[in-house]
Chains A and B, each alone.
Chain A
Amino acid sequence: MNGVHDMGGMDGFGKVEPEPNEPMFHEEWESRVLAMVRAMGAAGAFNIDTSRFYRETLPPHVYLSSSYYKKWFLGLEEMLIDKGYLTREEVAAGHAMQPAKALKRGKFDLANVERVMVRGKFDRPAPAPARFNIGDRVRAKNMHPATHTRLPRYVRGHVGVVELNHGCHVFPDTAAMERGENPQWLYTVVFEGRDLWGEDGDPTLKVSIDAFEPYLDPA
């Protein structure tokens, strides 16, 4: 979706402001939100792409004015309601009122904590040979799905060069919508800065994205 989360190349957000000696969490509730998202994801309530999509679909003014973990919280609550794990009435009451929905991998208890700390695997067996080779020129498609995608707007329509092939990975565009993992070849595609940003762009800049094969056409 062409959401406000797709920020590459936008102007007007001001300077980057590093915070000296930044704490891991600024408020304790942030750590509880992180843990709940990790736990419910590990228990099978949603996949990582679905959770990203729920944050992206927050109204633009909410997205821009909420802190990072506030966005996580708002996305989590909405997603768990949509998926039937809790109800708006329960949220309003602050207590469980309905029977629980079974979780794919069961209750998240202490025995599951180690599992959360190991990163998931996203590569899958290839259903077909790769369409592109290293060095091929490719054009990022001019596509504007209303649902989740990982093709940022700033490269759409532009020509780049395939630099790396990462194998076949879970395809976020379908996984986020719970339409299956639908594995696709994943490539690092590099673009010239001036192709993206015009003649005023930094001539020494190259930008790469990791692009799934359905995002690309031969060029």
Chain B
Amino acid sequence: MSHDHDHHHDHDHSELSETELRVRALETILTEKGYVEPAALDAIIQAYETKIGPHNGARVVAKAWTDPAFKKALLEDGSKAIGTLGHVSRVGDHLVVVENRPERHNMVVCTLCSCYPWEMLGLPPVWYKAAPYRSRAVKDPRGVLADFGVALPKDIEIRVWDSTAETRFLVLPMRPEGTEGWSEEQLAELVTRDSMIGTGLPRKPGAPS
């Protein structure tokens, strides 16, 4: 994604979609009226592109897998525990971490819009914000999991967390077997974004990343 604002004006307008023209017109008006500085908008986009993402969540999960005291603190108060980790401390308040166990699988949705733990996972993917997931996750989560190629035991409880307020939910997946003695860095490589939403499972050791 380009951060160069000025290159827009090199294009012939006939190449641009109606939406693109309207968005550009709005930015022009907001700039001319002195509400926003285009360079500040560039900086917001750059920050989203570089500072947030599932690597933050993966680091938290890997630490919880190796450090029982941290895991306990994380499940008690997610925001507070993550705040102790230094550079992934900008999580904000109201983060709730929910733990997958052999008898219970957690899955997170926002049926009303797109609430998602941005700081931990980055901006949500299109499917998370789209009607099929939002409509079905609370009624037929096993069907949704099948769309992701995930099949869970028939008797395991499925707990779906609908993010209807400013609380945000992060799933702590189960640590894969065969990872005894692995470092946090190695473990973090197994933690996928979808495993922290609950629509996937962590990679197995030796599986392609």
The smallest beta-carbon distance between B31 and chain A, in angstroms, is 8
Which listed residue, B22, B44, B133, B142, touches A202 by the CB 8 Å rule? B142
Q: A9 and B36: CB pair below 8 A?
A: no
A58 within 8 A of B: no
Contact with B along A13-46 (1 / 0, CB 8 A): 1111111001111111101111110111001010
Interface residues of B in 118-170 (CB under 8 A from A): 118-119, 122-123, 125-127, 129-142, 144, 147-148, 154-167
Give complex CA distance A110, B27 in Å: 16
Q: A8 and B41: CB pair below 8 A?
A: no
Q: B164 and A151: CB pair below 8 A?
A: yes
B45 within 8 A of A: yes
Q: Contacts A86-B33, A206-B158 hold; do A77 and B26 have CB atoms under 8 A apart? A: yes
Q: Contacts A35-B45, A151-B164 hold; do A17 and B25 have CB atoms under 8 A apart? A: no
User: How many residues on the A side are at the interface (Cβ–Cβ under 8 A)?
Assistant: 90
**Residue numbers in B under 8 Å from A90 (CB-CB):** 29
Contact with A along B40-57 (1 / 0, CB 8 A): 111111011101100000
Give complex CA distance A114, B162 in Å: 29
The smallest beta-carbon distance between A212 and chain B, in angstroms, is 7
Which listed residue, A18, A35, A91, touches B41 by the CB 8 Å rule? A35
Q: A39 and B131: CB pair below 8 A?
A: no
Q: A202 and B141: CB pair below 8 A?
A: yes
A64 within 8 A of B: yes
Question: Tally of A-B residue pairs with Cβ under 8 A?
Answer: 260
Nearest B residue (CB) for A42: B44
**Residue numbers in A under 8 Å from B160 (CB-CB):** 205-208
Which listed residue, A6, A15, A26, touches B132 by the CB 8 Å rule? A15
Nearest A residue (CB) for B53: A24
The smallest beta-carbon distance between A207 and chain B, in angstroms, is 5
User: How many residues on the B side are at the interface (Cβ–Cβ under 8 A)?
Assistant: 83
List the one stretch of B60-68, B86-94, B176-184, B201-209 in contact with chain A.
Answer: B86-94
A134 within 8 A of B: no
Q: A122 and B36: CB pair below 8 A?
A: no
A130 within 8 A of B: no
Main secondary structure of the interface of B (DSSP, over half): mixed
B14 within 8 A of A: no
Which listed residue, B113, B118, B138, B167, touches A186 by the CB 8 Å rule? B167
Q: A73 and B41: CB pair below 8 A?
A: no
**Residue numbers in A under 8 Å from B111 (CB-CB):** 6-8, 152, 154
Q: B127 and A18: CB pair below 8 A?
A: yes
Q: B30 and A113: CB pair below 8 A?
A: no
**Residue numbers in A under 8 Å from B51 (CB-CB):** 117
A139 within 8 A of B: no
Give complex CA distance A22, B128 in Å: 12
Interface pairs (16), CB distance under 8 Å: A7-B131, A7-B134, A8-B109, A11-B135, A19-B125, A34-B123, A35-B45, A39-B35, A39-B41, A73-B26, A77-B26, A109-B37, A117-B51, A121-B92, A206-B160, A210-B162
Interface on A for B, CB 8 Å cutoff? Answer: 5-11, 13-19, 22-29, 31-36, 38-40, 43, 45, 52, 55, 64, 67-68, 70, 73, 76-77, 85-86, 90-91, 94-96, 100, 103, 107-110, 112-113, 116-123, 150-152, 154, 164, 166, 169-170, 172, 186, 188, 190, 196-197, 201-202, 204-212
List the 5 shortest-distance A-B pairs measured between CB atoms, nearest first.
A119-B92, A8-B111, A94-B25, A96-B32, A210-B165
